[in-house]
Chains A and B, each alone.
Chain A
Amino acid sequence: EVQLLQSGGGLVQPGGSQRLSCAASGFTFGIYAMSWVRQAPGKGLEWVSAISGNGDYTYYADSVKGRFTISRDNSKDTLYLQMNSLRADDTAVYFCAKKCSFACHRFDPWGQGSLVTVSS
């Protein structure tokens, strides 16, 4: 069974940093692109970032570019999101998601979500 188990998150002060992790199992992690999506409280989904299977290519939403870094360790089957210079409007539940292979764009499945609260 394909599973994504997230860890990290919690309360962080404005300007602070936080790292999220997403541990994958049930599939060959290194051949699939992965993505992060967030959802502010009571709001809709917002795509945040994506990374290719080998980690060579990364993509970011304008709202996080220059502050967030997506990475992966294929030897550990784990995806990461390093979030720096956090702001109040970064407060959200962050989901990791497995993307299908080359030239397709569906996200399936998703992790359970990690709440990040940016507040003093």
Chain B
Amino acid sequence: QSVLTQPASVSGSPGQSITISCTGTSSDVGGHDYVSWYQQHPGKAPKLMIYDVTNRPSGVSSRFSGSKSGNTASLTISGLQAEDEADYYCKSFSSNTIYVFGSGTTVTVL
């Protein structure tokens, strides 16, 4: 099935900022403001971190922020902490397939 394109891995030192990209098409990321981001620790269920491109659910740290430009959405983690080490997935509403997930990005804190 079609997936949104994410980098396989991103790393950073504690305190640094990192950005994860999520590239789709005009049928999904570019055509709707319904991009969300999920954090998944090993063996755990995914957790919602960002929704509707830029919104943060209550309880999620303000160090997490989202944005979008054209067909690419981005998740930025500022002030990187050891607990941020996890897999991150973007998801978009799609005119073609209802929902499509990104390929996933492993964040490593050096």
Contact = CB atoms under 8 A, between A and B. Distances in A.
A112 B36 contact: no
A44 interface: yes
Contacts of B57: 106, 108
Given A44-B89, A45-B89, A110 B99 contact: no
A105 B99 contact: yes
A89 to B, nearest CB: 11
B64 interface: no
- Judged by DSSP, the binding face of B is strand
Contacts of B104: 44-45
B36 A105 contact: yes
B45 interface: yes
A31 to B, nearest CB: 19
A67 B104 CA distance: 27
B45 A44 contact: no
Interface of A: 35, 37, 44-47, 50, 59, 61-63, 95, 100, 104-113
